Structure 1
């Protein structure tokens, strides 16, 4: 078992550990006070048991590289990376917001169809930002989404992929690489569909003992159903974000007509 570093320990002479705020399969996340500025920072440590595993180290370094390429107010900002006695760390900004998973399960927060579509709109903006930088998140889930009022933040880039292929036109890249990029893009779209479906189910109370398909259990506008089916690849998968935005706009308009 990897034991978290004790509260009060100072890392890299600058970051005093306040408490542990997360632990994943390959990282431990600490809330720290930056002693020079007195501001809160987040420090992520590669689990000690993983530091001799080349694959895990490569994933950790990839996350650092990806974060270093990003500059968006709704995504953590990378400050620095450092090592100490063979242990690997990086430092990022602290986002003071609630985890969407905790909001749903502990605070019992629910989202109606309109609110769910609005969250998808914000998430789509962030995914569009990433894809324009040839970055694919690959781990879009409610634990990796923070919410503050109606503002949405995206975290945890541990599984993200960066398109390192130097060519950007389909004529220049091999068909296999192009297919791989499309699959990564559509994986993010699929994950967005699952998040939307999850949010929509927060207002659902089961009256049937027998589980039914979501198309029967949820009462949704047909435009929202169509959007979901394409995101989840039940119908023809989306090829780009522009297509999603068109259908998302139609779903928003359908809800406006109801009111």
Structure 2
């Protein structure tokens, strides 16, 4: 509805005024929005250090379940306290709408690298990047959290180091889930979800250097012509073969 969009645009000005009233923050830019949140770039006047203010979209302001889910994201980020995950610096409300201020990760997402910059990754590079990602995921799981949205827009590269953002769909890790009860691996509340996303992430990396030899589209197993060890590894991530029992097992089973 047009009036809802207008309402949210007006709320952007409310956020700007809120930031202007803070003793050491300057409003820089509107970054964008997702299904549940709106994000703004802000900066400290004293050190020019940049942060992101993320608030719940105003249209969800009366939906308690959505509010609770939004607040859970900031709780999870505070619980993790990992160097490659944004840290929380402030929480509060703006006209009753919850927000939090977190680190701004000044890097490029793999979506930008591949589709805007035309970056190409060899199989060796793709596996090395995936190894680093799995190492980070293991630490997140050890903190009792599943990310559940490890897509290429949510993984950034900063000076050859990966950073993971957007924990809006993250949830506490549930042990001993019967795999037969999992309908959609993306929504699983255990390692299955994150490993499934890692499989697709690895496919994006591998396809970045793929040159099609015909106009006929085939399954990735045929198009990419991968060594059998890599193909089997991917199929276990993607739940085509028997899935890995944990992210740690996946890391240990990485080829090469």
> What TM-score, normalized by structure 1, do the two folds share?
0.86
Displacement of 1:219 in angstroms is: 2.2
Displacement of 1:176 in angstroms is: 6.5
- State the SS of the aligned residue for 1:69: helix
- State the SS of the aligned residue for 2:100: strand
- Specify the alignment match of 1:5 in structure 2: 12
Q: 2:235 aligns with which of 229, 234, 241?
A: 229
Aligned counterparts of 2:218 and 2:88: Cα–Cα separation in 1: 44
Aligned counterparts of 2:74 and 2:149: Cα–Cα separation in 1: 16
> What TM-score, normalized by structure 2, do the two folds share?
0.87
Aligned counterparts of 1:182 and 1:57: Cα–Cα separation in 2: 22
Q: 2:158 aligns with which of 121, 132, 148?
A: 148
Displacement of 1:40 in angstroms is: 1.1
- State the SS of the aligned residue for 1:203: coil
> After superposition, where does 1:9-88 map in structure 2 within 5 Å?
9-11=17-19, 13=22, 14-35=24-45, 37-88=47-98
**1:126-170: CA deviations, max 9, x gaps?**
11011101100011100001112321100000000014x7xx7x6
- State the SS of the aligned residue for 1:82: strand
- Specify the alignment match of 1:218 in structure 2: 224
1:205 maps onto 2:211 in alignment: yes
Displacement of 1:89 in angstroms is: 0.9
Residue pair 1:51, 1:87 contacting (<8 A) in 2 also:
yes
Q: 1:195 aligns with which of 175, 178, 201?
A: 201
- State the SS of the aligned residue for 1:81: strand
**1:205-227: CA deviations, max 9, x gaps?**
22222111111100222211111
Quickly say closer, same or farther: Cα 1:15–1:89, change in 2 above 3 A. Answer: farther
Give every structure 1 segment of 4 or more consecutive aligned residues whose post-TM-superposition deviation is greater than 2 Å.
6-12, 34-38, 179-184
Displacement of 1:55 in angstroms is: 2.0
1:123 maps onto 2:133 in alignment: yes
Gaps of 5+ in 1: 253-259
